Amino acid sequence: MRVEVAFAIGIAPPVAGLRSFRDTERHDIEARLGWPPGPGFSPRSRPDRVGVRALDIALLGIPRLLDIIANAGAAGGTLFGEPADVGKPREPENEVDDFPVMWAAPDDTARTLPWQLDPARRPKAYRTELVLTDQRLVVLGGGEDDESVPAEELWAASRDAVADIERMPYSEGGSDVRVRFTDGSWTRWRVKEPLKLVGRFRNDRLPVAEGDLTQEQRERLTALVVSPPLRVSRSIGTMLPVTEPPSLERFSDGTVMAELQVPLSSGTVWTVTRYLCPDGTDDVTKDSVR
């Protein structure tokens, strides 16, 4: 599995748009990492939260956020509101009062992570990706403006060095995960498809070939490919035949997730996802596991 990854960022008012780096005594270790300078970390007092909005943080980044804080006293300022549907923090000490994305003693695995994972330090056009294999966890880096240049391996750890990967629901879009290493250190990342990453790591959901499906699942899949369950407005385009093989993953209970790439006459491609029980019927209870 290969997905974009970066250090996570806080959403609670005191730490919105911020991240910290801690040792196991909660001391700030950012200056000891030998990294390029970053924005630092200082939880905001209540007056400083005025005018800070989730959208500014998510779309415009740290520079815009700092500008908003600097002008928080201007007319029309509104109290920062947390993004909807994130629930309540599970760990207030790590999600509200502080927001560590690295928790590690000296020489722990988490301290070896590359500085390029921090969007506040790397070039604007640079991106990092996470690769999960059956042997390793790898971080790649490269310039997104030139995909012809091979990505560079920035960091790697044996899969045996990773104790667990868990989703952290209290995050923008539910996109955060925490990677726990066997030495007790951990890191908090923002990734695309966090639930899929967790499932792949725990072997709860794995890629599967069409020939390994039950007869009923294959029949249902054929019907989906021939007639995708998708309604499209004429202003957007008309559906064209599905030509790409469906992406298939099987869960530990035998349910198969099928993703179809449906092309439209407008040139866009829409994804249709269905969950097929072993008997070929649709499992609507898994709509939140993508």
How many Å apart are CA 248 and CA 220, to the nearest integer?
13
How many Å apart are CA 44 and CA 50, to the nearest integer?
10
| Predicted local confidence at residue 85, as pLDDT | 59
How many Å apart are CA 17 and CA 84, to the nearest integer?
16
| Predicted local confidence at residue 234, as pLDDT | 83
How many Å apart are CA 167 and CA 175, to the nearest integer?
8
| Predicted local confidence at residue 44, as pLDDT | 74
The torsion angles phi and psi of 53, rounded to 5 degrees, stand at: -120, 150
**Which pairs from 269-274 meet CB under 8 Å and 24+ separation?**
270/230, 270/232, 272/224, 272/228, 272/229, 272/230, 274/220, 274/224, 274/229
How many Å apart are CA 187 and CA 163, to the nearest integer?
12
Q: What is the pLDDT along the chain (290 residues), one digit of tens a residue?
A: 999 999 999 999 999 999 999 999 999 999 999 999 998 898 876 655 554 444 444 444 444 344 333 333 333 232 334 444 577 899 999 999 999 999 999 999 999 999 999 999 999 889 999 999 999 999 999 986 666 667 899 999 999 999 999 999 999 989 999 999 999 999 999 999 999 999 999 999 999 999 999 999 999 999 999 999 998 888 888 999 999 999 999 999 999 999 999 999 999 999 999 999 999 999 988 766 66
Can you give the pTM of this predicted structure?
A: 0.77
**Would you put residue 89 in left (φ > 0), alpha (ψ -120 to 50) or beta?**
beta
